[in-house]
């Protein structure tokens, strides 16, 4: 349990608010299109999560040994493998089991 400073959480709040509003506005105005839209929105989400993790949850700010950071990184590794692996498999199954076109 580390001490938190008011400026820290205020900064976290402001950054999160800005990122949320910007991504909302981009979608609402319809300026994002196609695959790049997914990446841009994803980047905004990751940035906001990073801001909240470091400023609200104080990830990585602890004194050594940094057990919280280590378990978080491990979770991230497992998560990336499980989620991307599952989606890859499902896309592959979907492609391979697609019904053949008739009259070809």
Partner 1 sequence: MTQSLEHTKEIEEKTVFGFWVYLMTDCILFGVLFAVYAVLCKNTFGGPSAKELFSLPLALGESAVLLISSFTSGLAMIGTKPEDKKKVLFWFIVTFLLGVAFLAMEIFEFVHLIERGNGWHKSGFLSAYFTLVGTHGLHIAFGLLWMIVLLPSVAIYGLTAESIRRLFCLKLFWHFLDVVWIFLFTVVYLMGAL
x/- site string to partner 1, residues 1 to 40, per CB under 8 A?
Answer: x-xxxx--xx-xx--xx--x--xx--xx---xx---xx--
Question: Using the 8-state DSSP alphabet, how is residue 23 labeled?
Answer: H
Coil, helix or strand for 42? helix
Is 78 near partner 1 (CB under 8 A)? yes
Structure tokens at 34: 């196609």
Residue written as tokens 């981009």?
A: 26
Binder among 22, 45, 60, 92 for partner 1 (CB under 8 A): 45
Binder among 22, 60, 90, 92 for partner 1 (CB under 8 A): 90
Nearer to partner 1, 57 or 61 (CB): 57
Collect all residues with Cβ–Cβ distance below 8 Å to 45 and sequence separation of at least 6: 23
């Amino acid at each position: 349990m580390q001490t938190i400073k008011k400026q820290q959480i205020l900064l976290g709040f402001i950054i999160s608010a800005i990122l949320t509003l910007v991504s909302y506005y981009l979608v609402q105005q319809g300026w994002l299109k196609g695959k790049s839209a997914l990446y841009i929105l994803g980047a905004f989400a990751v940035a906001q999560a990073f801001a909240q993790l470091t400023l609200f949850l104080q990830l990585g700010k602890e004194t050594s040994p940094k057990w919280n950071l280590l378990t978080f990184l491990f979770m991230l590794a497992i998560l990336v493998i499980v989620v991307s692996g599952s989606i890859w498999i499902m896309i592959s199954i979907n492609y391979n089991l697609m019904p053949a076109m008739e009259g070809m």
